[in-house]
Chain A
Amino acid sequence: MNRLVDRRLSGKNRSAVNRQRFLRRFKAQIRRAAAEAVSGRKVSDLARGEKISIPAKDLTEPIFHHGPGGRRNIVLPGNREFISGDRVDRPQEDGGGGGSSGGSPDGDGMDAFVFELSKEEFMDYFFEDLALPDLVKKQLATTPEVKSTRAGFVSQGNPSSLHVVRSMKQAIGRRLAMAAGPRDALREAREALAELTARGLDASPEADALREDIAALEARIAAVPFIDTWDLRYAHRVDQPTPSSQAVMFCLLDVSGSMDEDRKNIAKRFFMLLYLFLTKRYERIELVFIRHHTVAKEVDEEEFFASRESGGTVASSALELMHDIIVSRYPGAVWNIYAAQASDGDNWENDSSRCRELLLHDILPLTQYFAYVEIEATEPQSLWHEYEKVSAASQRFAMQRILTLEDIYPVFRDLFSKKEA
């Protein structure tokens, strides 16, 4: 006789290990593909999975097989017009669909092997490029703070969360319900006994029987427990994630001629990292993109990363615009303000001191954190020197020169370490 077994609940994800092995083996290719994917994403759109595509020829498993050439016999179905002895042209592609000769290596004829990375895996690749410390990775990848909130009462729980008042209420109800029947019967029995007594039949057998009943019922009522295990009620608490409030993040980018694609890509990751940090702390985040060369302009994200402009750089224009926007749209009491500025360090000589003034007097007092990166600059220039003074004067200002992706993290080190504290 056949046996019927329900296996649905056992052994899911049996392939998880093999999947991990696969990811590890093709780490280099996947990493490259993931990096490209990051470049194609919006700053605020990092935390989701990604379709990864790697060249299929990199992952074929070889076997010995025949190559083209020689003499092959092929039998095909569905003859229409051929008769024996016909000679026909070779079809364009090799083999003419005659896959029947077998032995075609796995994946042959496909250009790319495409699969999905989960959000966590994708983030791992992103973090790996940035050389983030593990603790920080963990902070960013998990939902951070939770607040424990009340969520009603449950019948099972920890003794320490026993809710006495609730439990007693429950017990009263139960006692009433359990004793209701006997009580009615008791009342009737007493009335009957009283009637008998009134008629002077106090010593009759009926009266004795009634007295016995009354005693039994009273015992039964008394036996109803005062409190029982199923009366117990416990206060129930659930953890709710609590991003505290709202923040606005300013992205300031120098788009003068010297900012090429590579530098912009580094800048983009710099913005992404800050954004990711903010998403863990704030419920609502707005992004403001300001690009500047000699004049600054607020743009949407597409345009922000899109094109370069030729000409000089006046960094203060962006700071001024940022200040105006803060004043008009983001009053400091309600908004947490963060800013990230990326530039190649090039600035108009006389403008740098103006930048310092602006930062120290107008902007930093309003913001939580201002991070500045100088990407692949040859020599520190005037803006760097002026910013060094700002950095010395303010705890909220961080700056870093960046050559590779790994250099991005240190600029946020303070930010992340504050959180750990």
Chain B
Amino acid sequence: MPVETESRVSTPRQPLSDGSEWTFELIDRYDREIARVAAHYGLDTYPSQIEIISSEQMIDAYSSAGMPVGYHHWSYGKQFLSTQKNYQRGRMGLAYEIVINSSPCIAYLMEENTMTMQALVIAHAAYGHNSFFKGNYLFRTWTDAEGILDYLVFARNFVADCEQRHGEAAVEELLDSCHALMNYGVDRYRRPARLSMAKEQARQTEREAYLQSQVNDLWRTLPSRHTDAQEKAATRFPAEPQENLLYFIEKNAPRLEPWQREIVRIARKIAQYFYPQRQTQVMNEGWATFWHYTLLNHLYEEGKLTDGFMMEFLQSHTNVVYQPPFHSRFYSGINPYTLGFAMFQDLRRICEHPSDEDRRWFPELAGSDWRSSLDFAMRNFKDESFIAQYLSPKLIRDLKLFALVDDDREDKLEVAAIHDDAGYRTVRQRLADQYNLGNREPNIQVAEVDVFGDRTLTLRHTMHDRRPLGDSTAEMLRHVARLWGYPVRIESVDQDGVARQVASAG
């Protein structure tokens, strides 16, 4: 926008602050300025609450997956110990920020940060992530920002109450099993009900009674006179395969006590809450990084930031978006910050300065208003579809992406496609698949319960590209069996539809 650029240039330099010390007044001033610029770009955000915390508190927050309240469990203690150790030895810096998808959106700033870092974090978390939480369709559908904090409080109190009544050991065992199955505690297609603490509490008693009666009902229909084969076939249970293992267990496990069902439900709800984050890591981080970069650069052009500020900011920004090549010993997967940031930058470039190639690949984007195009992309995609839709040939070249095939029937790896004309589409599709949670996690569903026999629960693993289950399967089945209360078996079905039992327990 040339008009704006001119007016910015003519503005005299009046930096907000000079030096690295922060004060509450300064943070407030920076926040106002950033809010002004964010509004200028049309970012729509939840109100946010910026909390200053110490590094110990940051370690605490870290160890509970960023949740401000959580029930007690040893695994959080383990996380705490390893974070604390790494931090004390200086092996890792703490993340500069943690942001919680709630309304108000809570962003943590560490007191050790310099003013520059605080401003960076405010722009990144309180405006970047925040607007993503508010705008993206997955978060809008799956999570309830207003209800989550209350629900977490309810969950913590409920778990603590169960510990009192039934003993810590019993609750811990149950939570272990629930945690193990958390990735299979989400509805991938159905939309969940909204969370609300008041409703949860009011309904809990009612639900306990109702659930128990339902469960009993299911098993009461099985006296031995129902041996008729037709009837057996008619009452196949469950009628359809069930993808949500924890939901199935909560509703149907014969031997769970009401409080145990409630805890399974809590684990399931929390898994559901984190589900969108797992599906939008690249987009979410990319979006937040794009906006801290854009907002702070805008402020710099207005003369509100000093050169020293920008040097520090850019150094930190560059570290965040560094992508080591695959042969580097620092390589540990594709950096979601790099990929996401580069994609949003690239998107803006395509809108503002499209090349002929871009016009061929993205006719509807080239030359459009970049703000509305980016906004549309942020709202309506998840990592998988975002990459499939928007990864441009130029970016594939810049990142030098290439696709490998690792087939255990071949003795060598094959390079399927690289960053050339013939390979763009393949690379793009494969990279998108890589972010498909359905491909990353084994596809396991509840297939059948032997309602007329020994109540064995059968899980079915549908193999994808002949990939087998890992070595944790036997242990996992023990967890499922603990919840189910009766034997559990799992079978893998290959491409030809042949089922083979992999493990059993209970």
Contacts and interface: CB of A to CB of B under 8 A. Distances in A.
B7 to A, nearest CB: 26
Interface stretch (A61-69, A221-229, A237-245, A319-327): A61-69
A71 B405 contact: yes
B465 A88 contact: no
A285 B121 CA distance: 54
Nearest to A26: B74
B145 to A, nearest CB: 15
Interface residues of A, number: 66
A46 to B, nearest CB: 22
A65 B470 contact: yes
A176 to B, nearest CB: 44
Nearest to B472: A62
A86 B73 contact: no
Interface stretch (A112-120, A130-138, A346-354, A368-376): A112-120
Given A2-B126, A64-B183, A74 B406 contact: yes
A85 B415 contact: yes
B317 to A, nearest CB: 19
B323 A78 contact: yes
Given A76-B326, A78-B325, A115-B85, A5 B51 contact: yes
A22 B418 CA distance: 47
Interface in B178-198: 179-180, 182-184
Contacts, number: 276
Nearest to A75: B431
A97 B326 contact: yes
Contacts of A18: 63-64, 72-74, 76-77, 80
B11 interface: no
A75 B402 contact: yes
A71 B76 contact: no
Interface string B456-486: 0000000111111111110110010000000
Interface in A53-106: 59-80, 82-90, 96-103, 105
A71 B420 contact: no
B12 to A, nearest CB: 28
Contacts of A21: 72-74, 77, 168, 172
B211 interface: no
Given A19-B81, A69-B466, A2 B74 contact: no
B399 interface: yes
Interface string A10-29: 01111101111111110000
A19 B52 contact: no
A7 interface: yes
Contact of A2 (B47, B76, B80, B466): B47
Contacts of A19: 77, 80-81
Nearest to A110: B82
Given A18-B80, A78-B400, A64 B434 contact: no
Nearest to A5: B51
A79 B413 contact: no
Contacts of A20: 77
A24 B469 contact: no
Contacts of B467: 66-67, 69-72
A75 B76 CA distance: 33
A105 B179 CA distance: 13
B146 interface: no
Nearest to A19: B77
A4 B27 CA distance: 8
A5 B77 contact: no
A329 interface: no
Given A68-B408, A114-B85, A76 B401 contact: yes
Nearest to B414: A87
Nearest to A88: B413
Given A6-B24, A78-B323, A22 B74 contact: yes
Contact of A64 (B400, B409, B476): B476
Nearest to B323: A77
A408 to B, nearest CB: 31
Contact of B442 (A2, A66, A73): A66
Contacts of B40: none
A361 interface: no
Contacts of A100: 333-334, 434
Contacts of B57: 7-8, 11-12, 14
B472 A65 contact: yes
A14 B60 contact: yes
Given A64-B184, A77-B401, A3 B47 contact: yes
A177 interface: no
Nearest to A21: B74
A392 B51 CA distance: 70
B53 interface: yes
Given A66-B467, A84-B415, A113-B78, A90 B406 contact: yes
A14 B61 CA distance: 9
A22 B79 CA distance: 10
B473 A103 contact: no
A334 interface: no
Contacts of B412: 87-90
A67 B403 contact: no
B408 A17 contact: no
B430 A73 contact: yes
Contacts of B98: none
A21 B70 CA distance: 14
A65 B442 contact: yes
A404 to B, nearest CB: 28
A1 interface: yes
Contacts of A99: 332-333
B53 to A, nearest CB: 5
B31 interface: yes
Contacts of A7: 51-53, 57, 108
A64 B477 CA distance: 9
B422 A62 contact: no
Interface of B: 24, 27-28, 31, 35, 47-54, 56-57, 59-60, 63-64, 72-78, 80-82, 84-85, 88, 104, 108, 111, 126, 168, 172, 176, 179-180, 182-184, 323-328, 331-334, 399-420, 422-423, 427, 430-431, 433-434, 440-442, 444, 463-473, 475-476, 479
25 contacts: A2-B48, A2-B49, A2-B50, A3-B47, A3-B50, A4-B27, A18-B77, A19-B80, A21-B168, A22-B75, A62-B479, A64-B441, A72-B407, A74-B404, A74-B405, A75-B401, A78-B399, A82-B418, A84-B423, A90-B413, A98-B406, A102-B440, A102-B441, A115-B84, A115-B85
Interface of A: 1-8, 11-15, 17-25, 59-80, 82-90, 96-103, 105, 113-116
The 5 closest A-B pairs by CB, nearest first: A78-B325, A22-B77, A70-B467, A18-B77, A70-B466
Given A67-B468, A67-B470, A75-B404, 17 more contacts: A1-B47, A2-B48, A3-B47, A14-B60, A22-B81, A64-B441, A65-B472, A66-B470, A73-B405, A73-B430, A78-B399, A78-B400, A79-B419, A87-B415, A90-B411, A90-B412, A115-B81
